[in-house]
Structure 1
Amino acid sequence: MMSTQEQQPPTTTDVDAPADVKDIEGLSSHVLIDVPRDEEKRLLKKMDWLLLPVLAFMYLCNALDKGNVGNAKTDGWDKDIGLTGNQYYILVMIFYVPFCLFGTPIALFIKRYSAARVLPLMMVGFGSMALCTAAASNFSQVFAIRWFLGIFESAMLPGVVFYLSTFYKRSELASRVGVFYAAASISGAFSGLIAYGVFHIDHPRYHSWQFLFWIEGAATVMFATFAWFWLPRSTSTWWALTEREKVLARVRILSDSSISVDEKLDITDAFRPLKDPVYWVWGAISFSLGVPLASVNNFLPQIVHSMGYSTVKTNLYTVAPNVAATVALLALTFSSDHFRERSIHISIALSTTIVGFIVLGAIDPVAKKDVAYFACFLIAMGAFAPSVLVASWYSNNTLSESRRAVTAAVMVALANSAGLISTNVFRAKDEPKYTPALITSAIFGATCLCLTLALGMYQRWENRRRNREQGVNLRAQDVETEALGRGKDAPAFRYMY
């Protein structure tokens, strides 16, 4: 049996802070939280296995239902429903309008009622829209469906980023969001494989692309029902945790994530970070990274198709770049958490995708298929990681739950609004090379790279300035987030960059 001492819940250790940091306002006399490492590892393992696979599959369904029109187009979907001119590109574009407008309002519901309840409901919605697309027969019907699809999908990414931040410490968030987000990058491979198999169906009454929408839409709705009952509203009410683990989970979040747990939603305070110039820079970064990301998400099948491959081969050849992108995403996010560093890792990914777009824009994709296909690997490998790492970056430095929920929604909305640019520069008249679109994607990627490096250098300088003025040598991980009730204004606050 456990001793009485062993049965006590983990508490903050009364270890004295270093002599040179004791007098800083906002820093408690105990700098670090002392929790049993073996118990913490068991708790992490339980959260990883019970939360991440479910969330990842939810996002896989999200990505499949959002991007399946790209695969359907390679099977003649656009011609079968009578699309002409730029109508296909308009349908891709219109999705982003409600996608940007509704993410923030829905994020407030997520904070108020929990992502575990709101996100499965949204999932039923976008799964139903996929089913409706199979029955749509003209431009107007698909236009309306894509509008509602944008509403239902708008809060998925910011909702999960916020949700995971209530379970994981700052030094664990990027890798967990990376595992979740890997579903988006691998979705390109899954959608290619699914389309490859489905497009072999030869039915006398129905088109092959209709089976694609039916299969993916039905799977989404069914899994949403499961997610509703499976996902916990919070660690304090999770059936899978013991009472001791619930206390440990709370202590962990207060040590390295939030200033409080399960705080009530304060709408006025939730929008306060938007007054800070640093968040405007994060907003510009989010917007600029969205253009290359949307280009890969929406048009990779068309880019591969421009090399002269058949419909079946096009869908098959999108698999390998997306698998490589997933590996790169996981490598960068796990490395970022290990080193507790964001800006340099983001810059590495951005540099990769910029080179890929430049190469694609500079060559003839038909004459130099091998080089063009290699460039597809580069644009995919660098497109996805910045979204995860930037989301982790501003979340790590936003210590209030309400502020973090709104910040994530606003930043993701800005990133998604960049899809309007991507879809407008990928024009039918530029097929098959899409040179203006590739150049535009490279320029926005380069802009994002410059902003990321500049903000990373500023935050490093600001941390050094505070240390110099206070006569200490503090890092972000040296101070409990619970002790930083004033957030960035607390003297002991240090940026996690």
Structure 2
Amino acid sequence: MSSLAEKPVSTGQEDDDVQGEKVTLEHGLNAAERHEDFSGVDEKKTLRKMDIRLIPVLAVLYLLSFLDRGNIGNAKIQGLTRDLHLSTNGYNIAATVFFLTYFAFEIPSNLLLKRFRPSVWLPSIMIAWGACTVCLGVVNDFHSLVVVRICLGITEAGLYPGVAYYLTMWYCTNEMALRQGLFFSAASVAGAFSGLLAYLIVKMNGVGGYAGWRWIFILEGLLTVVVAIAALFLLYDFPETASFLTPEERAWAVHRLKYQGSSRVGRMIAENNKFRWRDVVNAVTDWQLYLGVLMYWGIVCPLYGISLFLPTIIDELGYTAAIAQLLTVPIYITAAALTLVVCYFSDKAAKAGKSRSPYIFFPMCAILIGFIMAIAGSAAGNVPGVVYAGVFIATCGIYPAFPGNITWLSNNLAGSYKRAAGMAFHIGVGNLGGAMASNFYRQVDAPKFLLGHGLEIMFCVIGMIALVALRISYMRINKTRDMAEDDGSDNSDQQLSEMGDRAPTFRYQL
């Protein structure tokens, strides 16, 4: 049941029951803050209940999101550019404009998420982008294609940063990587599903007078709208209102999130949860986010280069369009499995007090090695197996690195609204990398695409340098705070809470 279903038409008895439950919950929360006694709560069982109720639904939402933004790559090799008479750069422009509005609307969407409730906001924007996807199936020229892609960017903008932030309302920092991985692995499944689905849908070529590529957009857009309507009844808002948890479990879930930073500061300090514009300003001016964006570009440029052009790259290796669609499937399935493995060990390291950064750095090494193989095989010519293997390895590095990047930065942003704005800024500016990557693989560079592979290598190296610089900066600040005489004792709990990650008692996760 969703939060909508949690509000039936009231009767007197129901009101008494709801009020009683509210009192019980408030009593549980007050008792929790006074005594921290959660001996009656099975933590593993409660987390499992959260996982079962939240992750599958969120994964499906993101799968469809990634499917609807990337299916233009599948449509391209099935005749989109020919039927719409696109110029040499027409496809690249249509792919690029999506990311411009996607970037612009991410921060506003994240700030509106809590105001309008996740169970209403996320399905609503999903219905809107599903309608835009259907419209892509009936466009008749370049200009209408660009306009609809602009609208698609606006409507999809809130999904990924919204869900990434939404998960921080349910899970603690040392649990985030695996949940982000479970959620984001839907993107790699979408890549596989997109190729397979496109292979099947194009067989409808001519049905209703529509070309096969048009049916890709129409059917996938309609699927999104249907799932969005179902999501209205399946999504939950926050732990304190989750009907599938007992009052004691809700109290435990709220308490542990509120005081999750206490292990770092040595005393019970609640995270600031009040909206202040100052937190938004602090987020967008925070130095760590700019290094994080460079690291993000080192991952997202290869990600979108692969998602938008993988079918084209494989098609240009000499395979038929149908085989090119199918050859994308094993790449994405393997990447999804590796994402879960890497994220599991990242969380395990965090729980043991160890670093998360190696679980981003080494996957980025795989990205670098993969594109070096791709550019070497392309330059040599007539070795499609080497190019395919290189793209395979690169993809297997991209998908584990992406959720690791998001998790690491979100762990080091303290304060609910600063985290919301910071994550939206990080993901929003980071996704401008998608706008750049949309122009890496130009038709004039086919079939070798040396420029595209070379640019992916450049951004990956920049991202790896940013990652190392970020880790060194965190280490230096932590060491300085450890050596300083200021232990936070001169500040009240409220003052330390409002300082967030700038408090002298806060320690950055490495």
Alignment TM-score, normalising by the size of structure 1: 0.88
Letter in 2 for 1:428: Q
Contact 1:178-1:330 within 8 A present in 2 as well: yes
Matched, 1:362 2:389: no
Question: How far apart in 2 are the matches of 1:134 and 1:109?
Answer: 30
Question: How far apart in 2 are the matches of 1:280 and 1:161?
Answer: 18
Q: Any idea what SS the aligned residue of 1:230 has?
A: coil
Q: Which residue of 1 aligns with 2:439?
A: 424
Q: Which residue of 2 aligns with 1:458?
A: 473
Deviations 1:36-57 (A, max 9, x none): 4961111101110000000000
2:195 pairs, out of 192, 210, 217, with 192
Contact 2:306-2:395 within 8 A present in 1 as well: yes
Where does 1:220-299 land on structure 2 (aligned, <5 Å)?
A: 220-256=224-260, 260=270, 263-299=273-309
Deviations 1:42-85 (A, max 9, x none): 11011100000000000001001001111111211221222232
Change (3 A) 1:269 1:81: same
Letter in 1 for 2:210: Y
Q: Any idea what SS the aligned residue of 2:32 has?
A: coil
Matched, 1:487 2:500: yes
1:344 pairs, out of 324, 342, 358, with 358
Deviations 1:102-144 (A, max 9, x none): 1112221113223322111110111101111111111111111
Change (3 A) 1:371 1:142: same
Q: CA deviation at 1:261?
A: 7.0
Q: Any idea what SS the aligned residue of 2:397 has?
A: helix
Contact 2:304-2:434 within 8 A present in 1 as well: yes
Matched, 1:11 2:32: yes
1:173 pairs, out of 173, 176, 188, with 176
Q: CA deviation at 1:292?
A: 1.6
Q: Any idea what SS the aligned residue of 1:140 has?
A: helix
Unaligned residue ranges in structure 1 (runs of 5+):
1-6, 15-32, 473-479
Q: Any idea what SS the aligned residue of 1:11 has?
A: helix
Question: How far apart in 2 are the matches of 1:391 and 1:289?
Answer: 11
Q: CA deviation at 1:221?
A: 0.5
1:64 pairs, out of 50, 67, 87, with 67
Contact 1:120-1:227 within 8 A present in 2 as well: yes
2:482 pairs, out of 467, 470, 479, with 467
2:77 pairs, out of 74, 79, 85, with 74
Change (3 A) 1:374 1:492: same
Question: How far apart in 1 are the matches of 2:260 and 2:217?
Answer: 43
Question: How far apart in 2 are the matches of 1:380 and 1:400?
Answer: 34
Question: How far apart in 2 are the matches of 1:393 and 1:175?
Answer: 12
Q: Which residue of 1 aligns with 2:413?
A: 398
Contact 2:28-2:247 within 8 A present in 1 as well: no
Q: Any idea what SS the aligned residue of 1:432 has?
A: coil
Where does 1:100-249 land on structure 2 (aligned, <5 Å)?
A: 100-203=103-206, 205-249=209-253
Contact 1:307-1:366 within 8 A present in 2 as well: no
Q: Any idea what SS the aligned residue of 1:231 has?
A: coil
Deviations 1:321-349 (A, max 9, x none): 11111122112111111101321111111
Contact 2:102-2:156 within 8 A present in 1 as well: yes
Q: Which residue of 2 aligns with 1:43?
A: 46
Q: CA deviation at 1:481?
A: 12
Q: Which aligned segments of 4 or more residues in structure 1 are displaced greater than 6 angstroms?
A: 7-10, 480-483
Question: How far apart in 1 are the matches of 2:299 and 2:392?
Answer: 17
Q: Any idea what SS the aligned residue of 1:446 has?
A: helix
Letter in 2 for 1:235: P
Count of aligned pairs between the two proteins? 466
Q: CA deviation at 1:157?
A: 1.0
Question: How far apart in 1 are the matches of 2:139 and 2:243?
Answer: 42
Change (3 A) 1:210 1:63: same
Contact 2:377-2:384 within 8 A present in 1 as well: no
Q: Which residue of 2 aligns with 1:28?
A: none
Contact 2:41-2:248 within 8 A present in 1 as well: no
Question: How far apart in 1 are the matches of 2:444 and 2:244?
Answer: 55
Question: How far apart in 1 are the matches of 2:270 and 2:421?
Answer: 16
Question: How far apart in 2 are the matches of 1:330 and 1:173?
Answer: 12
Aligned-residue CA RMSD (Å): 2.4
Question: How far apart in 1 are the matches of 2:501 and 2:396?
Answer: 34
Once structures 1 and 2 are overlaid, which stretch shifts more, 123-132 or 200-209?
Answer: 200-209
Change (3 A) 1:8 1:121: closer
Identity of aligned residues (%): 30
Question: How far apart in 2 are the matches of 1:336 and 1:481?
Answer: 31
Q: CA deviation at 1:217?
A: 0.6
Q: Which residue of 1 aligns with 2:332?
A: 322
Where does 1:377-392 land on structure 2 (aligned, <5 Å)?
A: 377-392=392-407
Letter in 1 for 2:291: V
Contact 2:84-2:142 within 8 A present in 1 as well: yes
Question: How far apart in 2 are the matches of 1:130 and 1:325?
Answer: 26
Matched, 1:335 2:345: yes
Contact 2:371-2:453 within 8 A present in 1 as well: yes
Q: CA deviation at 1:260?
A: 4.8
Question: How far apart in 2 are the matches of 1:471 and 1:244?
Answer: 37
Question: How far apart in 2 are the matches of 1:412 and 1:445?
Answer: 17
Q: Any idea what SS the aligned residue of 1:199 has?
A: helix
Once structures 1 and 2 are overlaid, which stretch shifts more, 440-449 or 261-270?
Answer: 261-270
Question: How far apart in 2 are the matches of 1:151 and 1:466?
Answer: 42
Contact 1:256-1:481 within 8 A present in 2 as well: no
Question: How far apart in 2 are the matches of 1:268 and 1:146?
Answer: 33
Q: Which residue of 2 aligns with 1:24?
A: none
Question: How far apart in 2 are the matches of 1:377 and 1:408?
Answer: 29
Change (3 A) 1:58 1:464: same
Question: How far apart in 2 are the matches of 1:115 and 1:328?
Answer: 29
Change (3 A) 1:386 1:37: farther
Q: CA deviation at 1:193?
A: 0.9
Deviations 1:151-171 (A, max 9, x none): 011121110111000000000
Q: Any idea what SS the aligned residue of 2:453 has?
A: helix
Change (3 A) 1:314 1:223: same
Question: How far apart in 1 are the matches of 2:331 and 2:188?
Answer: 9
Contact 1:131-1:217 within 8 A present in 2 as well: yes
Alignment TM-score, normalising by the size of structure 2: 0.86
Question: How far apart in 2 are the matches of 1:202 and 1:138?
Answer: 19
Q: Any idea what SS the aligned residue of 1:424 has?
A: coil
